Structure 1
Amino acid sequence: DLTSFPKTNVKNKGKYLGLAEKGRKTENNLPVGLDYIASLGITHLQLLPFYDFETVDESKPSANYNWGYDPANYNVPEGSFAVDPYDPLSRIKELKTMVQALHDHDIRLIMDVVYNHVYNEYTHPFTVLVPGYYFRHLPDCRLANGTLCGNEIASERSMVKKYIIDSVLYWLNEYKLDGFRFDLMGILDTFTVKKLRQLFNEIDPSIILLGEGWNMGDVLPESIRATLERSQFLRNVSFFNDQFRNAIRGNVFDKYNRGFVSSGPTDRDFINYDLMQKKYAEPEQIIQYAAAHDNFTLFDQISSSVPDRSFQEYIQRQNLANSIVILSQGIPFIHSGQEFLRTKFGNPNSYNAPDEINQIVWTESDRESVSYLKALIQFRKEHPVFRYPSFKKILKHVQADFLSDHLIKVRIKDQADDYWVFFNSYQAKSYGLIDAGDYQVYFAANNSYLDQEKTVSIAEGENTIAIDPLSTLLLRKI
């Protein structure tokens, strides 16, 4: 997806080496691939699975497309991403080259892993090795199917647990990866996930372990499923915050459903940190996001739920969503291309769709929303109060409230600073009360002011500030 777009001078399109190439551009001289990703200022890049998967013919990689959630050989890099899939060393060397290129740009790499099921249980080496052992079964001996993919891997069994741990450590040590995103993590047992986290802490505590903490399946007891409900037991394991996502954009399974940024009804608890501390053991367990590879892209849902608007309005709504993600406590997560209103043409599950649907259209990366996201990321990195490490600090210093159905105010105040953030999803100006005084403006009216001095003064007795339509206003009291 990252390098397959035809209108660039990337030499190795769709390959490991394509993401390692520097100085690559579009026909209209826009940076692409590695250079563009590095320019965003992100700290981590998460890639979809790149172990060996089943349904793409490595000798004809363009004949079929798949995201890679059809595992075949867990410990072998996928050959369709290699320049020469017939050379067993090619995929190894090229993958390592890609990882090193990312590290050279201070970008850490997270691998999406799928240890919850395999593509074909009947022919998989697990079954050949020990028939029946590696998979869960129902009382009538049928395969359990909590994954909705045909089978469930029985991670709670000792040798299955050992296999998963050995496999993850192999990727960590051999390819120097920096994190793992566990697909359908709730299918796995808590003890396997906790053991991995303990091993990561011994090797490098900064290694990220995140996953989908959904409660799925019927065989494994709920009490030992690696779900969000087990967050107290699974310290330093992060979970996608679906409540946050749905509140921002609407129900992801209904593209006509509206959330906060589309001026729809909103679950107000999505900014309630007091409730969050009852669900999560620590802020770093919260993955705050509005879109991922699954479901409709953020733009596709917003443009469907709020149709027939100007493109400029869609940019404003996308900026608003991105600012809520980046400026919230927890770990922000941005879907690739979300910053320039990526579309998949209404496809909600493009796992096997062609490049024309899934590719990053790099000629769109010069939209003003890209520079806006870059500024948000820069601001967050420079201001630690937007990423407190504990709920104790959040609850002491952060106050988040709905002032109306379409206006949120977040105040972050400590001994040194006093920040005021307003998120306005109304299509006209909104007004909020604010303390009198002088303020430095960082973001207003869909513009950033990080590189220029902009101030505003609020006179005693007035105490009201206007927030432009569909925008974020961020101020610091001077």
Structure 2
Amino acid sequence: MHPLDLTLARAHWLRRDLVALPATAVPAGHEAEDLRWTLAVAPDGGLDPAAAPEELALSLSEGALPHPVADAWPHLAAAHPLHLDATGAARAAELLTGQVALLGRDGAGELVLATSLQVPGVLDDLYAARATARRLGVSWSGPPGQRVPTVTVWAPTAQHVDLLLWDEVPGPEDARAWSPAGEPTVVPMTRDDDDGCWSVTGTQGWTDRSYLLELLHVIPRTGRRQTVRSTDPWSVGLTVSSTHSVLVDLDDPRWAPSVWRETPVPAPVRAVDQAIYEAHVRDLTREDPGCPPQWRGSFLGLSADGVARRHLAALAGAGLTSVHLLPVFDLTSVEEDPQQQEEADRATLERLSREAPAGTQQQAMVRAHATRDAFNWGYDPWHFLTPEGSYATSGGAAHGGRRVAQCRELVGQLHALGLRVVLDQVYNHTTDAWLHRASVLDRVVPGYYHRLDGEGRVETSTCCQNLATEHLMCQKLMVDACVLWVRQYRVDGYRFDLMGHHSRANLEAVRAALDALTPEADGVDGRAVHLYGEGWNFGEVAGNGRFVQAVQGQLDGTGIGTFNDRLRDAVRGGSVHDADPTTGLGFATGGADARHTDQLQVGLAGGLRDIAFLSQETGRPVKGAEVAYGGAPCGYAVSPEEVVNYVDAHDNETLWDTLVLKLPQSTPMAERVRRSTLALATVTLSQGISFWHAGAEVLRSKSLDRNSYASGDWFNGFDLTLRDNGFGRGLPPEPDNGVRWSMMAPLLADASLRPSTADMELARDCALDLLRLRRDLPLLRLGERERILRQVSFPVSGTPHGRPDVVVMLVDDRGASPQDALDPAHSGVLVVLNASPLTVTQTVPGLAGQEWVLSEVQQRGADDVVRQTAWEAGPGRVTVPGLTAAVLVRPA
């Protein structure tokens, strides 16, 4: 890179008196100590490094960055420290509203380095202590009927901020997409120099009016002085398509539907008592014939007594506790105005799939409309505190408080079914950065909210523009949003996308803020809100490169869960990242081996590091942390609530599609159904948190699509009438799937791989029995590390009786005192997972002479085969049919 380039930002202003210069930024052939360093400033931009209007001297200290600065910025710990004197440091706030650059000159006075600076550190140093305590966005004060709004925005580097206010308010009968027209009223905002916030208080007449922020910036690096318009990053209401913020009072009774207002939140449950169902708002009801057409796929879909509502009610009745909704915050990837959306013709798609279930025309039609259709997973954040408008029932319903009311209606309907509501949260990235269309954060504070690389470019390891929640005001956005959705929407939990790109401190800050919410003061008990997420370790933050990450094995004591890919891969086989999905068979896909058995046993025991058993692979004693998962320990948790066990999710192939890809094509349908139930049993009967992808219980397919985020309604089809499981809708869209088409085509064309309604009904009913087992047998949910270590064992593993395709888990409660016994009816539970297609008889060491019986749920359940399970008390021997999860109990 050219050493004189202000479009790069290779230095870091970390504290008002401290600039960090990485050694890699020092020009070749020079040493930092031999150069003269200055901070060049241009109050109105247009900085010319060769003729800067003002330069402030910097002094170079010996050694690296001082503590605790180095601890806060570990990737810069070895950088050269450059210091401003007290006079210069006192001007930091003023200087940051203009253009700043670091200049380095050699002994002859020649300029050898000119670079812009990354400024999040100094902005936090100057403002965060006070700004994090401010109420940002719109706050309301005054008695009911006379409330007035105050708008506050944190914009410390702006030279001036105005609020632009539009007069027109659309009526409730206006179903058109509406955006304010005409010229706005310009209302100056007042700056608070202590915290860098700008604010203005309006009148009661501002209610429901649209507004924008207009900020005068000197844009970093370019040095341009320009006026920028933006929506409010802390918006709680928006116009259609998010063109403007709306002054919505969330306490206004107009936006509080009766079912949300009057239905109590389901009673709190322990983290390990959760049985979670991951669903997409649109998926749930868009194919529901019992739902009015205008409500299908919307927030209001479950307000109808359709098949989706009845299906969720059946799941809840069997023991499902929670519905996890894919993103419902305002996102960029879906057009909100139904009149502007484009959809592939459904009748044509259905005809093509009847004629050519492995054809390419279907995916071509879907892809042609992918940027304008109504479907996307939604991992494209725009405004974090406002519901997504495309889930409203019309363009008009997406305006202002109306979308708030409809989102609350959905929460209320789920609560009415006895189901807790978990929201998918995405604070690791945004769709845009800098001054692009949806870059609401950078428009307000350029260069602050995103994580930058060594040259000052936005990091994109998440495949989008990475957010930097290690910056304190970005963490505040995350915390404020989590608090708002609990207080104002009464949600019960969060799943964090790519949680490993956040720090443990971020998650602890969210946890502390939620724990402070009380029924008396806030109407909710924040301590009952559960947190979990994707604890993957990759990208520029990997290995705690920038902070202690919120990843697997680093959340001890927080009560925050992470997804357990170890159990998933042991059950499915291979890895979700395999180029060839047909290789790498697992416990439920016909390739159980001793390594999978050990990994599965660790997962069944809640993923604990310290769970001890005889390894099936080696026959020697082993602990969970000593069982290998690639180069990592299989057991990583110290407590079972830190582990979310699953075998499929919205990402990657569905469980059914995995079975299609991995099993021989000639595998009978009855065997496929049993293997699907067996896979779900490994999750549902485990000591961790149980997590299902919506439709796994009814053999849902996405026509083999492994990444269906933009594959439209067609490939994401979810028909709860059970006429169609979604298989054979054509070859899936080419991105992420094209190299697999040669292996997919003969499968999709094979009608014998499409389950019948009876097959799906049997799978559903067997899955309901699994939920009932988890609900009715508290020994499957011990909930405490000490209990699991003391009471859970795998008595057959590693013994002469052991075999890799059979797992036997004993949960023994005989030693518990009456007051400590979890189940007064049973003193033990024996789970036998037989992945062999043949009946297996196993002697279980230590159980000779004991009386065990098949669980009452399975005696009365949907599976005729499991009732063939037999127990011989004398030798302590159990016989279990092939491809069966059997649960036996010992009477107390």
Normalising by structure 1, report the TM-score. Answer: 0.92
1:290 to 643, 647, 670: 647
Query: For residue 258 of structure 1, what is the aligned residue in structure 2?
Result: 585
In structure 2, C-alpha distance between the alignment counterparts of 1:4 and 1:199, rounded to whole Å: 36
Q: Which residue of 2 aligns with 1:129?
A: 444
Asked whether the equivalents of residues 215 and 222 of structure 1 are also in contact (C-alpha less than 8 Å), the reply is no
Q: Secondary structure at the match of 1:239?
A: strand
State how far apart, in whole Å, the 1-side matches of 2:418 and 2:882 are. 37
Larger Rg, first or second structure (1 or 2): 2
Matching residue of 1:147: 462
Q: Deviations over 1:323-382 (max 9, x none)?
A: 111111011001100011110010000000111211211122751111111121122112
Shift of 1:438: 3.2
Once the 2 structures are TM-superposed, how far is the Cα of residue 211 of structure 1 from its aligned partner?
Answer: 0.4
Match of 1:315 among 673, 690, 714: 673
Report Cα offsets for 1:423-455 as digits up to 9, x if no partner: 1111111221133343221276995589x9999
Classify 1:385/1:325 alpha carbon distance in 2 versus 1 (closer, same or farther; 3 Å).
same
Match in the other structure for 2:534 = 212
Q: Deviations over 1:291-323 (max 9, x none)?
A: 100000011011210032111111100110111
Match of 1:427 in 2: 837
Aligned-partner Cα distance in 2 for 1:191–1:117: 18
What SS does the corresponding residue of 1:417 show, helix, strand or coil?
strand
Shift of residue 464, structure 1, vs aligned partner? 2.8
2:807 partner SS = strand
Equivalent in the alignment of 2:880: 467
Q: Which amino acid aligns with 2:540?
A: D
Give deviations 1:122-180, integer Å, cap 9, x for gaps: 3211111111110111111221122122x211101111111111111111111111111
Q: Which has the higher contact order (CA 8 A, sep 6+)?
A: 1
Q: CA separation in 1, counterparts of 2:317 and 2:686?
A: 22
Following superposition of structure 1 onto structure 2, how do residues 85-164 of structure 1 map, counting pairs within 5 Å?
A: 85-86=395-396, 87-122=399-434, 123=436, 124-149=439-464, 151-164=465-478
Where 1:133 maps in the other structure, the secondary structure is coil
In the alignment, the residues of structure 1 paired with residue 858 and residue 840 of structure 2 have an alpha-carbon distance, to the nearest angstrom, of 13
Provide the C-alpha distance between the structure 1 equivalents of 2:842 and 2:871, rounded to a whole number of angstroms.
14
Matches within 5 A, 1:35-74: 35-60=313-338, 61=341, 63-64=372-373, 65-74=375-384
3-state DSSP of counterpart to 2:838? coil
One of 541, 551, 555 as aligned partner of 1:231? 555
The match for 2:287 is: 5
Q: 1:327: which partner in 2?
A: 685
Contact 2:504–2:555 (CA under 8 A) maintained in structure 1? no
Work out the CA distance in 2 between the residues paired with 1:405 and 1:162. Answer: 49
Secondary structure at the counterpart of residue 474 of structure 1: strand
Q: Which amino acid aligns with 1:371?
A: D
Equivalent position amino acid for 2:413 in 1: A
Moved more, 128-137 or 246-255: 246-255
- What TM-score does the superposition give when structure 2 sets the normalisation length? 0.50
Gapped regions of structure 2 (runs ≥ 5): 1-282, 344-371, 518-525, 606-610, 612-622, 626-634, 723-756, 815-825
SS of residue in 1 equivalent to 2:710 = coil
- Note the aligned Cα RMSD (angstroms): 2.5
SS in 2 for 1:262: coil
2:783 maps to which of 384, 389, 393: 389
Equivalent positions of 1:322-471 (< 5 A) are: 322-364=680-722, 367-400=761-794, 402=797, 403-415=802-814, 417-434=827-844, 435-442=848-855, 456=870, 458-460=872-874, 462-471=875-884
In structure 1, distance between residues paired with 2:480 and 2:504: 17
Are the equivalent residues in 2 in contact too, given 1:258–1:305 (CA < 8 A)? yes
Asked if 2 retains the 8 angstrom alpha-carbon contact of 1:445 and 1:471, the reply is no
Q: Is 1:280–2:637 an aligned residue pair?
A: yes
Instruction: Call closer, same or farther: CA 1:40–1:474 in 2, change over 3 Å.
Output: closer
CA distance in 1, matches of 2:531, 2:474: 19
- Deviations 1:240-261, CA, capped at 9 Å, x for gaps: 0010111111222343131101
Residue-by-residue CA offset, 1:170-195 (whole Å, 9 max, x unaligned): 11111111111000011112111111
SS class of match (1:177): coil
Partner residue of 2:500? 186
Residues 348/208 of structure 1: CA separation in 2 closer, same or farther (3 Å cut): same
* One-letter identity of the residue aligned with 2:714: E
CA distance in 1, matches of 2:869, 2:842: 17
Of 289-298 and 118-127, the range deviating more from structure 2: 118-127
1:71 partner amino acid: P
Could you tell me how far 1:217 is from its partner in structure 2?
2.1
Change (3 A) 1:381 1:56: same
Cα 1:38–1:396, aligned 2, differ >3 Å: closer, same or farther?
A: closer
Q: Once the 2 structures are TM-superposed, how far is the Cα of residue 25 of structure 1 from its aligned partner?
A: 3.5
Give the drift of 1:395.
Answer: 1.1
**Structure 2 residue 306 is matched with structure 1 residue 14:** no
Amino acid at match of 1:103: H
1:410 partner letter: M
The answer to whether the 8 Å contact 1:20/1:102 transfers is no
Cα displacement (A) at 1:197: 1.3
* C-alpha distance in structure 2 between counterparts of 1:438 and 1:141, whole Å: 69
In 2, the alpha carbon distance for the partners of 1:314 and 1:429 equals 17
Q: Residue type matched to 2:549 in 1? A: R
| Structure 1 gap segments, 5+ residues each | none
**d(CA) in 1 for partners of 2:682 and 2:291?**
35
My pick for the range that moved more, 217-226 or 57-66, is: 217-226
Query: What's 2:121 paired with?
Result: none
Residue aligned with 1:218, SS: helix
Q: Which residue of 1 aligns with 2:890?
A: 477
Distance 1:330 1:147, change over 3 A: same
TM-aligned CA distance change 1:446 to 1:258, over 3 Å = farther
| 8 Å Cα contact 1:49-1:111 kept in structure 2 | yes
Say whether the 8 Å CA contact 2:678–2:885 is kept in structure 1.
Answer: yes
Aligned-partner Cα distance in 2 for 1:212–1:342: 23
Give the direction of change, closer, same or farther, for the CA distance of 1:413–1:140 in structure 2 (3 Å limit): same
Task: Tell me the residue number matched to 2:392.
Answer: 82
Structure-1 residue corresponding to 2:136: none
Q: Is the 8 A contact 2:288 2:721 kept in 1?
A: no
Identity %: 28
Q: Distance in 1 between matches of 2:393 and 2:813?
A: 54
| Paired AA for residue 209 in structure 1 | L
Residue 231 of structure 1: SS of its match in structure 2? coil
Instruction: Give the structure 2 partner of residue 271 of structure 1.
Output: 601
Give 3-state SS (helix, strand or coil) of 1:394's partner.
Answer: helix
SS at match of 1:270: helix
2: CA distance between counterparts of 1:449 and 1:188? 44
* Alignment check: 8 A CA contact 1:99 1:177 kept: yes
Q: Which moved more, 1:356-365 or 1:74-83?
A: 356-365
Is 1:423–1:472's contact at 8 Å kept on the other side of the alignment?
yes
Equivalent-residue separation in structure 2 for 1:59 and 1:466 (angstroms):
59
Q: Tell me if structure 2 keeps the 8 A contact 1:20–1:34.
A: no
Separation in structure 1 between the aligned mates of residue 462 and residue 475 of structure 2, nearest angstrom: 18
